[in-house]
């Protein structure tokens, strides 16, 4: 039995029940004495490998050959979480080189991008790699050189994976975990430019918007480390520009709301900016006036924009008093004209404000 796991087809022509080195194991069928309802018809290869896997689990065997077995099963069914779990235990118990495991998993991760387990396995291996390289539990992950190097390599791998699927949920979630866990300035540094590249390619990529929020506001910083007012100014300016570029983009509006809420700033701060987006395009052109703080809708803008109307109504509602009527007018126009699918919701808003 070779030490290195193989994807060599010659190795895979034999079933486990035909392999001489597995003759000591008695395979365990899936169901014993039960005629299962709604069964899956397995291929001979899958049935064979998983019967041996059950036997291995039963014996609690930790061995090199288990690594090949789990890899075979994972390749046939990457969602087989027990095979992943067993593989992880085995790697740790046998003290296998963890970098090699990550490299081996690179191909699988790209191939099975949408599977939870491929990403979680990387996380486990990376954490173990970091922990094995430090015995001093007081140090933070970033103060560990080997850990930081592995994290930087991993970040580059994630970037490649996201090229295949720019909105892959698990990949994004994993990227955010990596940044937070290693919390290394060098890792964080490139994130904002990265987000901007992605939003340049697709201003509607909500995963990239969420990542921006995570990068800008998710990180724990010491007091005084960043000037929050400056950050907010920069974010408002960036978001307003993106809204001007493509106004009917709920991702950008949600981000705008998010940063205001997060920083406890009133929506009314943006009334001047928002108003041109709430009226039909023709009436919103004041040629010659350029206000950098309040970029106007771009040439192709389809107005009025539903998200802008909603935003303006929120400003009016918050102000209360006479302005409540204006909010109600807007909600009614959303309910009956601009956003009729959400009629019930806008009517609910009217009812709440009138109560």
Q: Rule CB under 8 A: which of 201-260 touch other proteins?
A: 201-207, 209-210, 213-214, 217-220, 245-251, 254-255, 257-259
Q: Considering the rule CB under 8 A, would residue 57 count as an interface residue with other proteins?
A: yes
User: Which range of residues in 96-104, 186-194, 200-208, 286-294 is near other proteins by CB under 8 A?
Assistant: 200-208
- Of the residues 59, 114, 233, 318, which is catalytic? 114
114 is an active site residue: yes
Greatest Cα pair distance, the chain, in angstroms, is 86
Closest-CA residue to 118 (of 158, 65, 63, 64): 158
Closest-CA residue to 103 (of 163, 157, 39, 47): 157
* Least distance in angstroms from the C-beta of 170 to other proteins: 8
Q: Considering the rule CB under 8 A, would residue 343 count as an interface residue with other proteins?
A: yes
Q: What are the tokens at 2?
A: 């070779």
Contacts of 207 by beta carbon, 8 Å cutoff, 6+ apart: 166, 167, 168, 169, 172
User: Which range of residues in 63-71, 185-193, 196-204, 222-230 is near other proteins by CB under 8 A?
Assistant: 196-204
157 or 243, CB closer to other proteins?
Answer: 243
Quickly count: other Cβ atoms within 10 Å of residue 15's Cβ. 16
Cα–Cα distances (Å) from 336 to 103, 105, 217, 317, in that order, read: 57, 53, 37, 19
- Interaction with other proteins in 83-142: which residues (CB under 8 A)? 84-86, 88-89, 116-117, 120, 123-124, 140
Query: Could you give the CA distance from residue 346 to residue 31 in angstroms, rounded to a whole number?
Result: 54
- Interaction with other proteins in 260-279: which residues (CB under 8 A)? 261-262
Q: What are the tokens at 46?
A: 């899958």
Binding other proteins (rule: CB under 8 A), the pick from 3, 10, 20, 38 is 38
User: Which range of residues in 4-12, 71-79, 185-193, 325-333 is near other proteins by CB under 8 A?
Assistant: 71-79
Q: Binding string, 287-306, against other proteins, x = CB under 8 A?
A: ----------xxxxxx--x-
Query: Could you give the CA distance from residue 14 to residue 23 in angstroms, rounded to a whole number?
Result: 13
Binding other proteins (rule: CB under 8 A), the pick from 9, 20, 36, 224 is 36
Classify residue 298 by its DSSP letter: P
Binding other proteins (rule: CB under 8 A), the pick from 9, 10, 20, 31 is 31
Cβ atoms of 49 and 29 within 8 Å: the answer is: no
User: Which range of residues in 15-23, 77-85, 144-152, 229-237 is near other proteins by CB under 8 A?
Assistant: 77-85
* Catalytic residue positions, numbered: 114
């Amino acid at each position: 039995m070779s030490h290195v796991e193989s994807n060599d087809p010659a190795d895979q022509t034999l079933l486990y029940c035909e392999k001489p080195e597995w003759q000591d194991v008695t395979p365990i069928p899936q169901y014993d004495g039960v005629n299962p309802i709604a069964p899956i018809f397995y291929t001979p290869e899958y049935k064979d490998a998983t019967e041996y896997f059950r036997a291995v689990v039963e014996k609690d065997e930790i061995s090199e050959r288990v690594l090949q077995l789990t890899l075979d099963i994972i390749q046939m069914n990457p969602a087989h979480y027990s095979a992943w779990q067993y593989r992880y235990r085995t790697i740790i118990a046998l003290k296998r080189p963890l970098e090699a495991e990550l490299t081996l998993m690179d191909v699988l991760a790209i191939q099975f991008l949408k599977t939870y387990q491929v990403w979680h396995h990387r996380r486990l291996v990376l954490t173990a790699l970091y922990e094995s390289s430090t015995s001093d539990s007081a140090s933070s992950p970033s103060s560990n050189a080997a850990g930081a190097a592995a994290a930087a390599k991993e970040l580059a791998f994630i970037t490649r994976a996201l090229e295949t699927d720019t909105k892959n949920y698990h990949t994004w979630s994993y990227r955010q975990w990596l940044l937070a866990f290693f919390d290394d300035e060098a890792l964080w540094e490139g994130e904002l430019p990265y987000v901007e590249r992605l939003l340049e390619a697709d201003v509607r990529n909500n995963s990239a918007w969420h990542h921006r929020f995570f990068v800008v506001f998710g990180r724990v910083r010491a007091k005084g480390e960043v000037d929050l007012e400056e950050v907010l100014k920069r974010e408002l300016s960036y978001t307003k520009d993106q809204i001007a570029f493509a106004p009917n983009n709920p991702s950008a509006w949600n981000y705008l709301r998010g940063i205001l809420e997060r920083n406890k700033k009133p929506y009314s701060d943006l009334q001047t900016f928002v108003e041109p987006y709430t009226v039909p395009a023709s009436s919103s052109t004041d040629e010659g006036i350029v206000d950098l703080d309040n970029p106007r809708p771009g040439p192709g803008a389809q107005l009025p924009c539903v998200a802008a109307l909603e935003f303006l109504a929120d400003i009016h509602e918050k102000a209360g008093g006479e302005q409540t009527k204006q909010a109600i007018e807007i909600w009614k126009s959303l309910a009956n004209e601009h956003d009729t699918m959400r009629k019930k919701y806008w009517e609910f808003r009217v009812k709440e404000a009138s109560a």
